[in-house]
Amino acid sequence: MNEQAVGGLYVFILATMVGLEIIRRVSPLLHTPLMSLTNAISAIAIVGSIGFAGSGEDPVVTILGSVAVFCSMVNITGGYLITYRMLSMFKRSKRSGE
């Protein structure tokens, strides 16, 4: 196994452990926005897709890459926006806010 893959495995396992610890603490109140937020985060796949869409090497690769960029961009804009919108709806009651 090459070094890069082993390094990747380190990162993957440690990031998963961090993820499990942090997400366990997320209030169940916010599980729906949590899902839309993580969905937007994983749209970071756009970074890889851009490399294919802009390489200019082969039309097939350009098209596959561009569609992937499009899909990721939908999730980035839509995901962050709806998460923010949902979170803005959560308000404290006036009485207990005093």
Partner 1 sequence: MIDAIVPFIGLAAAVSFVLGLRWMSAVPTARRGVLVGVAGMALAVIGALLRPEIIDYRFIAAALVFGTVIGVPMAMMPMTAVPQRTALSHSFGALAAALVGTAEFYLHAGSIEGGTMLALGLEVLLGSLTFTASLMAFGKLQELLPQRPITFRFQNYLNISLIVTAVMCVLLLAIQPQWTFLFPIIVILALSFGVLFIIPIGGADMPTVISLLNSYAGLAAAAMGFVLGNTLLIVAGALDGSSGFILSMVMSKAMNRSFTNILFGAFGQVQTKAASTESRPYRSASPADAADILKTAGKVVIVPGYGMAVAQAQHVVHELHDLLMKEDIDVKFAIHPVAGRMPGHMNVLLAEANIPYDRLIEMDEINGELPMTDVALVIGANDVTNPAARKDPNSPIFGMPIIDVDKAQTVMVVKRSMAPGFSGIDNDLYYMDNTLMIFGDAKSVVQQIVKAIGGK
Rule CB under 8 A: which of 14-73 touch partner 1?
15-16, 18-20, 22-58, 60-73
Min. distance of Cβ 41 from partner 1 in angstroms?
5
Q: Which of 42, 30, 31 is nearest to 74 (CA)?
A: 42
Is residue 98 a contact residue for partner 1 (CB under 8 A)? Answer: no
- Contacts with partner 1 by CB under 8 A: the residue count is 88
Min. distance of Cβ 46 from partner 1 in angstroms?
6
How many Cβ atoms are within 10 Å of 32's Cβ, its own excluded? 12
